[in-house]
Amino acid sequence: MQKRKLGNSNLEVSALGLGCMGMSFSYGPPKDKQEMTSLLRAAVERGITFFDTAEVYGPFLNEELLGEALAPFREQVVIATKFGFDLNPDFDPRGMKGSPGLNSRPEHIARSVEGSLKRLKVETIDLLYQHRVDPEVPIEDVAGVVKELIQAGKVKHFGLSEAGVQTIRRAHAVQPLTALQSEYSLWTRTPEKEVIPTLEELGIGFVPYSPLGKGFLTGKIDENATFDSSDFRSTLPRFTPEALKANQALIDLLGGIAQRKKATPAQIALAWLLAQKLWIVPIPGTTKLHRLDENIGAVSVELTPDDLRDIDEAASKITVHGARYPENIERTTGR
């Protein structure tokens, strides 16, 4: 497995990470703990060293799962987690309904970190992200608290998720950021306009989540797909039958290149991301061993400058239908 460094930091991770949310949250009921433990350990055996979780996934279940499963490999792996939500008693963990409110008040961050340290069974969190920007708390205050946590040895690296460029700059001035995690893929290219140039300028790594479009870019989902109410895709405008049908043009594009390269559409989608910048580390999620192996295979797919130009030209003619999230959630991104 190739390694990459996140920005100017010395945080070296596998070129592909593993997004662990779906093991406990959002994509139907939590999966079998033993099966997920085996999958996490198989990922380590295959060279993956970068694992992504958050206290809200479950809530708490996902951090507990990683804490136990990865305990024997603690020195080999980098675990990233996130704070920033009020996990109130009536929060419904099945998908995005009844989403918890944002909370990045300093005392709340400190409590969240203590909980994450216990659940992850670690003395230091490798990479701590603010999950979503809280408009009620100045980002300088958030960065200041994380700076103190770093000085106290409880956190090693600071990151933001779905933040806009002004927030990134303001946070970075107080406590240098190691990484930004935001959605980025062939069907969500918003970061290219302002965010990626800013990250390059400041020397911050980029961790794209949903690099396979929440499963769509695998080519296994068409307009006939149905999603259980416990699967949060059932609430997403981009996963209505009409949008799925309209967006098949992207799958046709990936499929054509995949045939040429003797790869799968998912591998082309991931290889495209890896080819954008050397400091980009996608974190596709999966709960299946064969998908894990398929995703890892993307690291070996070589896309030439001509291939990348072909993909960009063809993709520029395709209009992606449907918003990423319902409006109430979309409002919490890009601040």
Please state whether beta strands 3-5 and 12-14 pair in parallel, antiparallel, or not at all (unpaired).
Answer: antiparallel
Beta bridge partners of 293: none
Q: Dihedral (C-alpha) 110, 115, 120, 125: value to the nearest 10 degrees? A: 0
pLDDT of residue 67: 98
Look at domain 3-216+273-302 and name its CATH class: alpha beta
pLDDT of residue 99: 57
Using an 8 Å Cβ cutoff, are 96 and 144 in contact? no
Secondary structure of 34-49 as H, E, C letters: HHHHHHHHHHHHCCCC
Catalytic residue check, 184: no
C-alpha to C-alpha distances, 314 to 100, 186, 241, 251, 264, nearest whole angstrom: 39, 11, 23, 11, 18
Given 57, 129, 184, 325, the catalytic residue: 57
Residues contacting residue 18 through CB under 8 Å, at least 6 positions apart: 40, 43, 48, 50, 51, 52, 283, 284, 285, 286, 292
Using an 8 Å Cβ cutoff, are 120 and 79 in contact? yes
pLDDT of residue 95: 42
Residue carrying the six token digits 């002004």: 166
Task: State how far the Cα of 234 lies from the Cα of 272, in Å rounded to an integer.
Answer: 27
Q: Where are the domains of the chain?
A: 3-216+273-302
Question: What are the per-10-residue average pLDDT scores of the chain (335 residues)?
Answer: 94 98 88 97 98 95 97 97 82 50 94 97 98 96 98 98 97 98 94 97 97 90 86 88 89 92 96 97 97 97 94 88 77 68
Task: State how far the Cα of 248 lies from the Cα of 266, in Å rounded to an integer.
Answer: 14
264 burial level (CB within 10 Å; 0-12, 13-18, 19+): buried
DSSP-derived 3-state class of residue 81: strand
DSSP-derived 3-state class of residue 89: coil
